[in-house]
Amino acid sequence: MARSGYSRATPGKGDDPSSVGGGPLPEGVPGPIRVLLVDRDVRVRVAIHQTIALESDLTVVAEASDAAEALAMADRTSPTVALVDLLLPDPATGLDLVRSLRRRPGCAVVAMTGRGGQRGAALAAGAFALVDKSGDIDAILTTVRACAHP
């Protein structure tokens, strides 16, 4: 996952998370975008989670490695955006999960893949967009923000 152009300060112990990565949110702006992160690969989840942790307007509220866990986490955490890997290890495919999460009020879905060719299927299932999870992390963050604040 490449990061383009700039770096963010890494918070130290005791730092106010809202002061990292660009300062506190302006008055009148709702709280951080609540992200549910769903990917079969723990390394991908860790990398995306660590990057999101540096952003003042985003927060990971839950992680899951399969569809069943993702649906349970969505029930408990009410995410604003779900980042969903399309290649999940269980019988419920990533596209099925996109459809299920998209039906939840207030939850937008960004589909992720490391392989091309699934854009049409992801959009037909209700995803806001399809992003390349092995590509530019800033593109993923921009897409999450765009679907949370259309």
CATH at residue 67: 3.40.50.2300
| DSSP string covering 125-146 | TT-SEEEETTSBHHHHHHHHHH
Q: What number of other Cβ atoms are within 10 A of residue 22's Cβ? A: 13
Token pair listed for 123: 């959009």
Q: What is the tens place of the pLDDT at every residue in 132-147?
A: 988 889 999 999 999 9
Q: How many domains does the chain have?
A: 1
Q: What is the tens place of the pLDDT at every residue in 68-89?
A: 999 999 999 999 999 999 998 8
Report the distance separating Cα 81 and Cα 146, nearest Å.
10
Report the distance separating Cα 14 and Cα 134, nearest Å.
32
Specify if 128 maps to a domain.
yes
Residue 140 vs residues 13, 15, 50, 72, 135: alpha-carbon distances, Å: 27, 25, 13, 24, 8
Is the per-residue pLDDT at 2 higher than 50?
A: no
pLDDT band at 8 (very low <50, low <70, confident <90, very high): very low
